[in-house]
């Protein structure tokens, strides 16, 4: 019997607001996440680095499934 594949948790992130008018660092964070245009969706790994970036731009994106606020920030 073959061992079961372990799937890594991913977060589906959709950009719902433009980065125009916000700090440059927030626009840069959107670009680093692979976003930059409205309604663009990316599947990103669920790790502390990505969660930190999502927390920074939480007013510009929508996390489908599990939200950033559901987990405690350590």
Query: Residue 51 domain-assigned?
Result: yes
Query: Residue 32 domain-assigned?
Result: yes
Query: Residue 7 domain-assigned?
Result: no
Q: What is the pLDDT of residues 14-26, one digit of tens each?
A: 999 999 999 999 9
Query: Residue 10 domain-assigned?
Result: no
Q: Can you tell me which residue has the tokens 């061992």?
A: 3
What is the domain range of residue 30?
19-59
Query: Residue 33 domain-assigned?
Result: yes
Query: Residue 69 domain-assigned?
Result: no
Query: Residue 12 domain-assigned?
Result: no
Q: What is the pLDDT of residues 26-36, one digit of tens each?
A: 999 999 999 99
**51 to 3, 32, 47: CA distances (angstroms):** 30, 13, 6
For 4-73, the DSSP string reads PPPPPPEEEEEE-S--TTS-HHHHHHHHHTT--STT-EEEEE-SHHHHHHHHHTTTTEEEESS-GGGS--
Query: Residue 35 domain-assigned?
Result: yes
Confidence of residue 13 (pLDDT cuts 50, 70, 90): very high
Q: How many domains does the chain have?
A: 1
pLDDT score at 65: 64
């Amino acid at each position: 019997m073959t061992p079961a594949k372990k799937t890594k948790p991913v977060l589906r992130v959709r950009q719902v607001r433009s980065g125009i008018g916000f700090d440059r660092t927030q626009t840069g964070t959107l670009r680093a996440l692979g976003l930059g245009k409205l309604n663009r969706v990316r599947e990103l790994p669920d790790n502390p680095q990505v969660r930190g970036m999502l927390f920074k731009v939480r007013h510009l994106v929508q996390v489908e499934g599990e939200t950033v606020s559901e987990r405690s920030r350590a």
